[in-house]
Amino acid sequence: MAHHKQTFSQQIIGLVTYGMPAPVRQVLTSRWVSLLIVVVVPILIASGVVSLSWNGSRPGFSLNERRAEQVEREAEQETLRAAQELRSLQDARRR
């Protein structure tokens, strides 16, 4: 079996998941899952949806459901606003 070069995100997740069972590590260090984790988790932490706490040497994550609902509503509103703006630009082009 050929050994493929790992991406930076795969290397990071490989380090973080060291000691986990092989099947779990294999899924988490796959190219797309590791990239998704490296991009999405910091965004969720920065937005307050997920909080990180340390219990000794082990990290713990908790989900703030109220903040998640608020972020979801804000994203929906922004999506609707962008769609309306796009429609108005398209209408202006047609004229």
Each residue's pLDDT tens digit, 15-41: 988 888 999 999 999 999 999 999 999
Range of the domain at 81: 65-95
- Name the pLDDT band for 3 (thresholds 50, 70, 90): low
Kindly state whether residues 55 and 87 are assigned to the same domain: no
| pLDDT for res 74 | 95
Per-residue confidence band for 59, with pLDDT thresholds at 50, 70 and 90: confident
**Sign of the C-alpha dihedral, residues 18, 23, 24, 27?**
positive
In this predicted structure, the answer to whether residue 69 has a pLDDT above a threshold of 80 is: yes
Instruction: Domain count for the chain, please give it.
Output: 2
50 shares a domain with 32: yes
What are the DSSP calls for 39-79, one per residue?
HHHHHHHHHTSEEEEEETTEEEEEE-HHHHHHHHHHHHHHH
Note if the pTM is more than 0.85.
Answer: no
Tokens at residue 79, please? 């999506």
